[in-house]
Amino acid sequence: MYNTRKITADLSWIGASDRRLALFENVYPIPLGVSYNSFFLKDEKTVLLDTVDSAVAEQFFANLKHVLNGRNLDYMIINHMEPDHCSQIARVIALYPEVKIVCTAKTKQMIEQFFALILPTEQYILVKDGDILPTGKHELTFVSAPMVHWPEVMVTFDKTDGILFSADAFGTFGAINGNIFADEVNFERDYLSEARRYYCNIVGKYGPQVQMLLKKASALDIKMICPLHGYIWRENIAYLVEKYSKWAAYEPEEKGVVIAYGSIYGNTENACEILAAKLAEKGVKNIKMYDVSVTHPSYIIAEAFRVSHLIFAAPTYNAGIFVNMENLLRDITAHNLQNRTVALIDNGSWAAMCAKQMKEELEKLKNIEFSEPIISLKSALSENQLKEIEDLADKIADNI
Ligand code: FEO
């Protein structure tokens, strides 16, 4: 049975949610599920904006059939060719063989790659920045957004109603639970952390490209944002844009400390607990601790984007970095984090090597200020090293 939602008189949401998927992109845990948003514009022409993941294909086709109400499909706009959105393109074409495909030249190439689908040239309307597609009452224009999140990405702007179809930008992990607009839920309390985790992990590497898109979008009179995942924004758009501006510029949102530690027998953890307590005694309030063997790196990466000060602590392992910490740090450098103050603690019962290698990894990032000296534990924090922990806490508290 169809399950569609009216967004405006002419626009409907025809997507669906998946609460069964354990790992988005086979990497990221999604305890709240995920939605795959697809949109349908009913005008003199009928327009589909993106499809969905194969997991929710049946719901999508029931929705599409309902909104078409017996009409043919005139246009299929493809903003993004990642399979969580494009998986049903070939089936749409099979059902509506006369549909015109509106996309970038790069998208056409990817359609051929993904589906071995060579369509007649005249079936495509290849668009670039500023091109206009009139559909009757509505006039659509297109803005390329390469690397937000893949190179072929574009966003579509409905000039008539001021609606930006923003592809992956402004998306959020989390299924749609009836309410479809961000203003219908307590977004800050319930979804901001998932929006941040989505952004940082999926698009975070491409800050300059996101900044470019934000600059292009600032020239548009945007009244509503329809992303490909999560809630639709029709109120307080500036709130989300401000978050994106900070994330894209790698600026911390808040003064605060995240302590990410690896610990095999609890001794490195113990040093971190004591450091956190000392920080608290010195008045630091915004402190979070994560065991890298317990918390998925995607959560810690999002937290690293959120706060100003980061402490990494880990034992030496195989003459290198404790394996889960190594994984986290590589992921952080892959995501291009910048502009943070970092302190390091390592542990080594006979040859502490970890901190040196953690530092080498983090030195790949821009504008990281290391809080020296590095604290090096010998098996466990000793009484005579408490002063080093105290000094580090002082330094971070003063800096915050
Ligand atoms: Fe939701 Fe980059 O796809």
Q: DSSP secondary structure string, 123-141?
A: GEEE--TT-EEE-SS-EEE
What's the CA gap between 173 and 157, in Å, rounded?
A: 23
pLDDT in tens, 19-29: 999 999 999 99
Cβ atoms of 234 and 179 within 8 Å: the answer is no
Atom of ligand 1 nearest to the CA of 171: 1
What's the CA gap between 250 and 257, in Å, rounded?
A: 16
Cα dihedral 315, 317, 320, 325, rounded to 10, equals: -60
Q: Which of 7, 4, 2, 3 is nearest to 183 (CA)?
A: 7
Instruction: Give me Rg for the CA atoms of the chain.
Output: 24
Residue 210: the pLDDT is 95
Q: Is the CB of 18 under 6 A from ligand 1?
A: no
Cβ atoms of 256 and 288 within 8 Å: the answer is yes
Q: Which of 222, 84, 98 is nearest to 162 (CA)?
A: 222
Q: Is the CB of 85 under 6 A from ligand 1?
A: yes
Atom of ligand 1 nearest to the CA of 36: 1
CB neighbourhood size of 281 (10 A):
11
What is this structure's pTM? Answer: 0.95
13: helix, strand or coil: strand
Q: Which of 304, 311, 313 is nearest to 355 (CA)?
A: 313
pLDDT in tens, 77-120: 999 999 999 999 999 999 999 999 999 999 999 999 999 999 99
CB neighbourhood size of 366 (10 A):
11
Atom of ligand 1 nearest to the CA of 168: 1
pLDDT in tens, 210-265: 999 999 999 999 999 999 999 999 999 999 999 999 999 999 999 999 999 999 99
- Annotate 217-239 with b (16+ C-beta within 10 A) or e (fewer): beeeebebbbbbbbbbbbeebee
Q: Which two tokens stand for residue 286?
A: 């915004």
Cβ atoms of 148 and 206 within 8 Å: the answer is yes
Q: Which two tokens stand for residue 279?
A: 């920080």
User: In percent, how much of the chain has pLDDT > 70?
Assistant: 100
Kindly report the average pLDDT of the chain as a whole number: 97
Quote the ligand 1 centre to 85 CA distance (angstroms).
7
Give 105's strand partners: none
Q: Which two tokens stand for residue 194?
A: 């998932």
Give, for 305, the enclosing helix (H) or strand (E). Answer: helix 297-306
Atom of ligand 1 nearest to the CA of 149: 2
260: helix, strand or coil: strand
Quote the ligand 1 centre to 84 CA distance (angstroms).
6
Residue 122: the pLDDT is 97
Q: Which two tokens stand for residue 84?
A: 């969580």
Cis peptide before 252 (omega within 30 of 0): no
Quote the ligand 1 centre to 239 CA distance (angstroms).
22
